[in-house]
Amino acid sequence: MAGLPRLFGDVSDWFEGEFPRPGQLIRVEDRITDKEYVLRAELPGLDPKDVQVSASSGALTIHAERREETTGVNRSEFRYGMLHRSVRLPANADEEHISATYRNGILEVTVPLTAPEPVGRQIPVTKG
């Protein structure tokens, strides 16, 4: 079959590295109550200074950078990578009072919720 074009190219290098490659998604779980939205993200082995959390225009974004190097006798290894995840916040999220803590490889972001806005409004009918 030499000389024929390959439909998918050479995929052998897919199995030699981590997958997905650039811009890996962060695994998250979330829950919502009447008072708060809580997002927990797996970020094992990171230093909290390498994690950024931001909120803007109704979206929560987590960005982290991993820089890991190990050196042994006649051998050294390094692993670098960017991690990223954005989620839509509930409509009544209080973006000014979001807090985040990092403990044992888990980032926990707590977003307080304001009272829900009333849906619609009552229109008085007057005699014409």
Query: Per-residue pLDDT for 4 more than 70?
Result: no
Structure-token pair, residue 55: 């909120």
Whether residue 46 is contained in a domain is answered as yes
Range of the domain at 64: 22-112
Based on the structure, what is the number of domains in the chain? Answer: 1
Query: Coil, helix or strand for 47?
Result: coil
Q: How far apart are CA 67 and CA 47, in angstroms?
A: 10
3-state secondary structure of 15: helix
Looking at the domain assignment, is residue 127 inside a domain?
Answer: no
- Split at pLDDT 50, 70, 90, the class of 55 is very high
Q: How far apart are CA 39 and CA 70, in angstroms?
A: 31
Structure tokens at 99: 């807090």
* pLDDT average, residue stretch 20-31: 75
Instruction: Identify which has the larger pLDDT, 60 or 10.
Output: 60
Read off the pTM. 0.67
CATH number at residue 85: 2.60.40.790
Answer whether residue 78 is part of any domain: yes
Does a structural domain hold residue 55?
yes
Choose among 57, 46, 117: nearest CA to 87: 57
pLDDT confidence tier of residue 23, bands split at 50, 70 and 90: low
Domain annotation covers residue 17: no
Q: Say if 4 falls within a structural domain.
A: no
Mean pLDDT of the chain: 82
The model's pLDDT over 90-111, given as tens digits with 9 standing for 90+, comes to: 999 999 999 999 999 999 999 9
